[in-house]
Structure 1
Amino acid sequence: MSGQLVMSGVPWFDDRGQTVNAHGACLLEQDGRYYLFGEYKTDDVNRFAGFACYSSADLADWRFEGIVLPQQDGGLMGPGRIGERVKVMRCPSTGVYVMYMHSDDLRYMDPHICVATSDTIDGEYTFAGELTYQGEPIRKWDMGTFQDDDGTGYLLLHEGDIYRLSEDYLVAEERVAEGVARGGESPAMLKHDGRYFLMFSHKTSWESNENFHLSAPALEGPWTYRGHFAPDGSLTCNSQCTFAFRLPTGEPVYMGDRWSFPHQASAATYVWQPLRAEDDTLSIPEFWGAWDPRTRGPAELVGKETEIDFSSDIAGEEIVIPFTGTRVALVGRSRPDGSYARVELTRADGTVVSSIYVTFYSKVPDSGYRYVSPVLPWGHHALRVTVLGEPTEWSDKRGERFGSVGTRVTVDRAVVID
């Protein structure tokens, strides 16, 4: 990240210089520090490789705390399984941290909502099995959680089911709402000025779509459809909702994912945007590529700008950008015929500091930051951008193809930060 700026749509780097790998995430604040939990993705196939935890004091610089729930030896979170939508809440009555997740087989035909626990926020968490309602497992998939002001915990499910959790958070005790968002997935909830808001994505696999929201005076309802909350036509700023949190000043923030199948570990990124809550509606009035959480206002990277004018869909074609400073950013275009580049950061002697995939694909064209390097010791470095010639593409359970119609990489300029 960049000097306490929250940046969307670019890879984030942690204290080790590795990409922050925490997708389908949630965020908790404890003792003045934020803890980010998410899916620890791979860059090849979609499988459960563990849930990761990162922490930050400023939402910009992230420290890797570890894999807090690793792949289990067998069972619902073992080899050959999928683990998604990890959410963590601290149970007020027990002080235990309770983790919730969606477990499935690789074909998404065996869904379960599962639970794990830890005495400390940064784990390791102990897997406890399925979450049940009236003695039966909850066989659902996309899920979220919400903790009300009085400490009551809730499980949110696709299609808009809401369950109140038991006092110890380990059982679903009451279904307080059912089917309030038919066709919706990836639920996220926030409360503002005594009113409840639910955000959902439509079901388009890894592809972004126009996410929508509802509001209600109580969790039981009545829930009223309020339409899109991001600029129309932006496909929710090219993202899918996953969670909402509050800044210390009380303002709500949207958390979303920009998925990039199959290279999710490095090329999938995050979209975090301030939310405006007015009466019965939420909105992201405009997309900010970078913003300052201290002022809750838009910001830009400050540095020396160089025009690049590189656009190619030929595999192996590349551009090398030498620079002197502490970091470099790329501004470019994502588009329906865009796809992957390999971006390598090297020292003057040619030693590779970082090598990751970066995607230049989006269903809706967008111009903005595509890459911001980790911070380096001041000196002479180089950035190599290579066209992979490999489209981002996948099929859903019905066999419908999604993804890029080409393999183009487009870089417009570089920003060198001294």
Structure 2
Amino acid sequence: MKQYLKLIVLTLFAGSFAAEHAYASIASGEIWRDDRGVHINAHGGGILRHKNTYYWFGEHKIEGKAGNRAHVGVHVYSSKNLQDWSDCGIALNVSNDPKSEITKGCILERPKVVFNEKTRKFVMWFHLEHKDAKPQPYSTARSAVAVADEVTGPYTFLHSLRGTPENWPINFPEEMRNQFDVKDDYYHGSASWEEKAETHQRGLAVNTCFHEGQMSRDQTVFVDDDGTAYHIAASEHNATLHIRELNESYTGYTGKYIRIFPGRYHEAPAVFKREGKYYLISSGCTGWAPNAARSAVADDIMGEWTELGNPCVGINPGNNMGPEKTFGAQSTFVLPVTGKKDAYIAMFDIWSPGNAIDGRYVWLPIEFADEGFYVPWKSAWSISSFEDMEN
């Protein structure tokens, strides 16, 4: 009886909170509460719009440093207006089976969900590191796939994989191929970052991983207008981004892929399309510490990419960090807002590795110019500030 009464009280509290605390604006870096009054737990996430509702998927963190590993799974929330969010529960649970690849204590990062119009399945991709990875925690470097019949799940883990084994990048010169007699000593050598970057520019890691498949760490998924999907991931020990075409079910690769910015150490990729051009937001590689954001543009997602520079403008007054530290945050996703003109939201995470559950979110509207785009800091802004599309 006491538990029943407690449930009634919690339900009434949640309903009261949702009614009284509807958000009039997006306040980046602040605690952002769901319909129950709890800080949203969807870190490193992405958003899928399905049947006029937005679904936000992200890493469920727990308190302390332990929260940097997966103890629960992938959380999902829903919203009609992108400002008020309802808790829809855990979309993908980690396993209690120690033999499972996604056993409790693994590293499960940056989940992204897309809908496959042909199979009518929801497909989730995420970066996976096995719990007992050797020689160091991030040496698994795999992507993983889960599927569901309903947008909020439950999602069923299918498999993990390395990228495109036995295939060369389509933009990989012939003279760089078949260097199997040259050892990639990344983990065991004492080379400087500059020396390592030079080996990646020569494609040694591609050769080292040719048979097993290419590495995948920070990642995202993008579905183009024609329904073709692409997996974008930090590869080659994080030194080079790979863009890989997915198969028709979106659960694996076709074997077609390219390398972009070899040896430049991009991670945290977020890709979007506007007026026929493809844009990228990413970051440098400095672990949990923030660094300067990067941007790039291409006329073809599998074509030539050109770096544009740091798109961030302004200062986050909460931590006094500006463009040189991406407001203290790191990119995770870019969301096109349906029904609004030229409306794109750049999503970032302010990581809190000492107490993972306290990570905050930075959502900012993208502004466009002839030479690219900008992400200006706004302490508070509303979705209504985007102009409605003409009918």
Question: Normalised by the size of structure 2, how large is the TM-score?
Answer: 0.72
For 1:280 and 1:168, locate their aligned partners in 2 and report how far apart those are by CA, in whole Å.
36
Counterpart check, 1:69 vs 2:161 = no
Q: Which position in structure 2 is the counterpart of 1:295?
A: 385
For 1:120 and 1:237, locate their aligned partners in 2 and report how far apart those are by CA, in whole Å.
36
For 1:4 and 1:109, locate their aligned partners in 2 and report how far apart those are by CA, in whole Å.
44
Counterpart check, 1:216 vs 2:298 = yes
- Of the three residues 47, 63, 86, the one matched with 2:111 is 86
Q: Which position in structure 1 is the counterpart of 2:348?
A: 256
Q: Which position in structure 1 is the counterpart of 2:15?
A: none
* Secondary structure of the corresponding residue to residue 272 of structure 1: strand
Code of the aligned partner of 2:140: D
Q: Is the 1:4–1:59 contact (alpha carbons within 8 Å) kept by the matching residues of 2?
A: no
Counterpart check, 1:122 vs 2:198 = no
Code of the aligned partner of 2:269: P
Displacement of 1:109 = 2.3
Q: Deviations over 1:64-111 (max 9, x none)?
A: 101111111232210231100101100121110000011114622222
For 1:197 and 1:20, locate their aligned partners in 2 and report how far apart those are by CA, in whole Å.
28
Q: Is the 1:176–1:219 contact (alpha carbons within 8 Å) kept by the matching residues of 2?
A: no
Q: Is the 1:131–1:172 contact (alpha carbons within 8 Å) kept by the matching residues of 2?
A: no
- Consecutive unaligned residues of structure 2, counting only runs of 5 or more, are 1-20, 132-136, 167-211, 235-239, 315-321
Aligned-CA RMSD value: 1.8
Alignment CA distance shift 1:175-1:277 (3 Å): farther
Q: Which position in structure 2 is the counterpart of 1:146?
A: 222
* Secondary structure of the corresponding residue to residue 237 of structure 1: helix
Counterpart check, 1:177 vs 2:268 = no
Q: Which position in structure 1 is the counterpart of 2:312?
A: 230
Displacement of 1:13 = 0.9
- Aligned residue pair count: 295
Q: Which position in structure 2 is the counterpart of 1:187?
A: 269
Question: Normalised by the size of structure 1, how large is the TM-score?
Answer: 0.67
| Higher-strand-fraction structure | 1
* Secondary structure of the corresponding residue to residue 326 of structure 2: helix
For 1:166 and 1:33, locate their aligned partners in 2 and report how far apart those are by CA, in whole Å.
26
Q: Is the 1:113–1:138 contact (alpha carbons within 8 Å) kept by the matching residues of 2?
A: no
Q: Deviations over 1:104-132 (max 9, x none)?
A: 14622222111000011100000001135
Aligned residues with identical type, % of pairs: 33
For 2:22 and 2:114, locate their aligned partners in 1 and report how far apart those are by CA, in whole Å.
28
For 2:222 and 2:76, locate their aligned partners in 1 and report how far apart those are by CA, in whole Å.
19
For 1:142 and 1:128, locate their aligned partners in 2 and report how far apart those are by CA, in whole Å.
19
Q: Deviations over 1:112-170 (max 9, x none)?
A: 11100001110000000113524755532111111111111100011221000001111
- Consecutive unaligned residues of structure 1, counting only runs of 5 or more, are 298-418
Q: Is the 2:281–2:294 contact (alpha carbons within 8 Å) kept by the matching residues of 1?
A: yes
Alignment CA distance shift 1:76-1:227 (3 Å): same
For 1:364-383, what aligned pairs fall within 5 Å after superposition? Answer: none
* Secondary structure of the corresponding residue to residue 309 of structure 2: strand
Q: Which position in structure 1 is the counterpart of 2:169?
A: none
Q: Which position in structure 2 is the counterpart of 1:41?
A: 61
Q: Which position in structure 1 is the counterpart of 2:367?
A: 276
Q: Is the 2:128–2:160 contact (alpha carbons within 8 Å) kept by the matching residues of 1?
A: no
For 1:70 and 1:105, locate their aligned partners in 2 and report how far apart those are by CA, in whole Å.
15
Q: Which position in structure 1 is the counterpart of 2:121?
A: 96
Q: Is the 2:102–2:130 contact (alpha carbons within 8 Å) kept by the matching residues of 1?
A: no
